[in-house]
Amino acid sequence: MILSLLVGGALVGAAQAGEVTLWHAWRGDERVALDELVGRYNADHPGTTVRPVFVSYESLGSKIEAAVPRGNGPDLLVFAHEKIGAWTAEGLILPVDLPPPGLGGGELHPVTVEALTLREAVWGWPLAYKSLALYYNRALIPDPPASTDALLAAATALRAEDRWGFAWEASSAYADAAWMHGFGGGVFDESGAVRLDSEANVAAFGFVQTLAALGPAEPSGALLTQLFNEGRVAMMANGPWFLGEASGVDFGVAPLPTVSATGRPAAPYVTVEALFLTREGAEARAFATWMAGDAAAEVRHRVGKQLVANTAVLVTDPRLGAFRQQLDTAVPMPTRAEMARTWEPLARALRRLVRGAADPVEAAHEAQFQYDIVSRPSPPAADPRPWFVAGGLGLLAALAWLVREVRGAPIARWRFAFAWVAPAFSAMTLLVVLPFLVGAAVSLFDYDQQAWTFVGLANFLDIVLARDFPIESPLSFWSTLVVTIGWTVANVILHVGIGVALAMLLREPWVRLRGVFRALLILPWAVPSYITALIWKGMFHRQFGAINGLLVAIGLEPVSWFAQWSTAFAANVTTNTWLGFPFMMVVTLGALQAIPRDLEEAAEVDGASGWQRFRLVTLPLLRPALLPAVILGSVWTFNMFNVIYLVSGGEPDGGTDILISQAYRWAFTRGHRYGYAAAYAVLIFGVLVLYGQAANRLAGKKVV
């Protein structure tokens, strides 16, 4: 938070009279168009200076939320409309008045205006939009299907050994929303309540299951891009971002087909990029109105390749025209807080549906059940006064202990030593101790819709007592703890076993090119873990992965690695073993340099076998170096987030999640339960402290 404020302040500076600061995340052609428009506007309006500031999209939202409440930040910003629910509640953006058609505002598409309307007010100037549409290979299917019956028939007819008629990310809740709406369902029912298990959604899930069976296994965005460009997929659902990725194929774009069972068009979500006003100012309003108008929209469309919200702009490219047709039936992405809590339950249920682990009814009911868990009411508020008293007494006790320890100590004598230690002490305090204390404090609060409520130990009790779900559920702390311990033990055994074995081999003088092998075997540890995890994720792919390719080559059946717990767990362990054994190998190689070979030779003369020499001579001498490495490796593995998140993603059904990945999900994918996630983090810290103490006792001395 502090860093965001500093960066926000540095980006903004002191606003001058007549100056309009605009934050955006546009790149490439969009940024070229923006610079051209800003230059033109500044030249035509000498009394106003618009100053665009690029901020990466990943951090733009957090910087706005940190800077604007404190009087910093821009006058205008470009962002997607989904945030308006939270931002209006926090007072970060102001309502705007859109000009009537023909008076500078052109014909703003009503769906884009609807997306920015909340509580009978419009909260931004719509600039551009994005939604899914149907891409089709003209060589394979000259005319796109107009109905889902025709889509299924074409997908079946075009299916071949190495070709698919239709493909899309079937387990994506965002992609499948188009079919949910087409069958008359959706996330919210007519009363506005979340209803994921409605009859219409069940029917949509049945269609998704049928259609997914006709497509490639485990489709991802990168895989679909590759298959479509290779001519191996005839049709797919994708967004305008794919226009820049398609190559080598004569393709067209059309609106998604009408659902034959209901007569409704498939209606994907649409996201609207808009200009938002963060502080009042006539100059900012005038520029934003001009940016949404006809002339600026034409430049954004022609130069920036945007799908502009202004329908007065003539669209000559039929591919872009298809997205404008799709906009007529698209559904604006909901801005309600409940929406963010539906993504994970829907995605988890859809993954089970697609891999055949659940039928449509079971998947829909599971999605609703998971949503009810993650959206449960906040714990009751607690009285913070006893906590303040206890905290004050604890602080006084700590100060009294410090005074007693320091009294009589020769501080002046050791002042130079203290001066050398001070930078490290300050860095540890700022970067480790203070964040931990803040996190521990957050664990005593509940966060819900921009409101913090002090709840005391309620989060800890909910976690430890598993109040919201059975103790054997993958969401349970205790079930996840068992998985985490098993994950840690399996990895450490393999790390140590492989690392020590390779080190023993590479110290032998008869091994040629030992230096080369040592360097090569360190590479898995040197490569960033997230890159390695993504590589192994691809290797475990059901249809196109190298692992299954080898299995098929030797006459075995391919494995759906992430469809069951045992194989998903094995995939995670394999990946992390590849990452972890070089560390143990390096530590062992270093320790072996200090062990005289004379001891082993003497044991050999006494008749000891190779295993006896290793167990009775080498291993005891390695233990002082290996024990700290094992403890450190255990802690690293216990919190190895990258492998779990990127390889298995917690599949199946969250069964391979570990404690750290569960904490992440509670914080960022289950309704921003920051207090609950912080309590998870504190419990993880407690488990590791207990492990560290036990390991120290086992080692016979303090090693950490």
CA neighbor of 12 nearest in space, from 52, 40, 39: 52
Flag whether pLDDT at 15 surpasses 70. Answer: no
Q: Is the pLDDT of residue 105 over 50?
A: no
Asked if pLDDT for residue 428 goes beyond 50, the answer is yes
Residues in CB range of 156: below 8 A, 6 or more apart: 165, 214
The β-bridge relationship of strands 125-131 and 269-277 is: antiparallel
Cis peptide before 652 (omega within 30 of 0): yes
Average pLDDT (17-36) is: 91
Q: Is the pLDDT of residue 270 over 50?
A: yes
The CATH number of the structural domain formed by 2-130+271-338 is 3.40.190.10
Q: What's the per-residue H, E or C state across 330-353? A: CEECCCCHHHHCCHHHHHHHHHHH
Residue 106 has pLDDT above 60, yes or no: no
CA angle (147 as vertex; 174, 310 as ends), nearest 5 = 60
Calculate the CA dihedral of residues 463, 467, 470, 473 and round it to 10 degrees.
-30
- Asked which of 30-34, 133-137, 424-428 is least confident by mean pLDDT, the reply is 424-428
CATH tag, 482-653: 1.10.3720.10
Distant-in-sequence, close-in-space partners of 200: CB < 8 Å, separation ≥ 6: 180, 183, 184, 185, 186
CB 440 within 8 A of CB 674: no
Residue 102 has pLDDT above 80, yes or no: no
Q: What is the average pLDDT score of the chain?
A: 88
Please give the average per-residue pLDDT across 676-696, as a whole number.
90
Q: Which of helix, strand or coil describes residue 611?
A: helix
Over 50: is that where the pLDDT of 429 sits?
Answer: yes
CA distance to 305, 533, 567, 571, 595, per residue, from 646 (Å): 32, 6, 15, 11, 40
CATH architecture under which domain 133-265+341-374 falls: 3-Layer(aba) Sandwich (3.40)
Q: Percent of the chain at pLDDT above 90?
A: 53
What count of other Cβ atoms lies within 10 Å of the Cβ of residue 298? 16
Question: Per-residue pLDDT tens for 364-406?
Answer: 999 999 898 888 888 888 888 888 888 888 888 888 887 776 6
Q: How far apart are CA 124 and CA 239, in angstroms?
A: 23
Question: Distance between CA 367 and CA 360 in Å, rounded?
Answer: 11
| Structure confidence at residue 449 (pLDDT) | 66
3-state secondary structure 74-98: CCEEEEEHHHHHHHHHHCCCECECC
Lowest mean pLDDT among 95-104, 553-562, 650-659: 95-104
Under a CB-based contact definition with an 8 Å cutoff, are residues 255 and 151 in contact? Answer: no
Q: What gap in Å lies between CA 325 and CA 80, rounded to an integer?
A: 21
156-165, 508-517, 580-589: segment of lowest average pLDDT: 508-517
- The answer to whether the beta carbons of residues 35 and 26 sit under 8 Å apart is no
Distance CA 698, CA 627 (A): 9
Which tens digit of pLDDT belongs to each residue from 332-343? 999 988 888 899
pLDDT higher than threshold 90 for residue 268: yes
Question: Would you state the structure tokens that stand for residue 326, as one six-digit string?
Answer: 């799709």
- DSSP structure string for 547-592: HHHHHHHTTPPP--TTSSHHHHHHHHHHHHHHHHHHHHHHHHHHHH
**444-453 mean pLDDT:** 82
Top pLDDT among 596 and 290 is at 290
Q: Is-contact 545 616, C-beta < 8 A? A: no
Phi, psi of 128 (to 5 degrees): -145, 170
Helix (H) or strand (E) holding 627: helix 619-638
Residue boundaries of the structural domains of the chain: 2-130+271-338, 133-265+341-374, 379-472+671-704, 482-653
Pick from 48-52, 313-317, 499-503: least confident: 313-317
Contacts of 645 (CB under 8 A, 6+ apart): 661, 664
pLDDT tens digit string along 651-674? 888 899 999 999 999 888 887 888
pLDDT band (50, 70, 90) for residue 245: confident
Q: Could you give the CA distance from residue 43 to residue 7 in angstroms, rounded to a whole number?
A: 29
Do domains 2-130+271-338 and 133-265+341-374 share one topology? The answer is yes
Q: What is the pLDDT of residue 1?
A: 40
Residues 6+ apart with CB under 8 A from 503: 584, 585, 586, 588, 589, 592
Contact 269, 330 (CB under 8 A): yes
- Confidence band, pLDDT 50/70/90 cuts, at residue 694: confident
Distance CA 231, CA 257 (A): 21
Cα–Cα distance measured from residue 349 to residue 501, given in angstroms and rounded to the nearest whole number: 43
Q: Could you read off the pLDDT of 534-544 as tens digits, one per residue?
A: 999 999 988 88
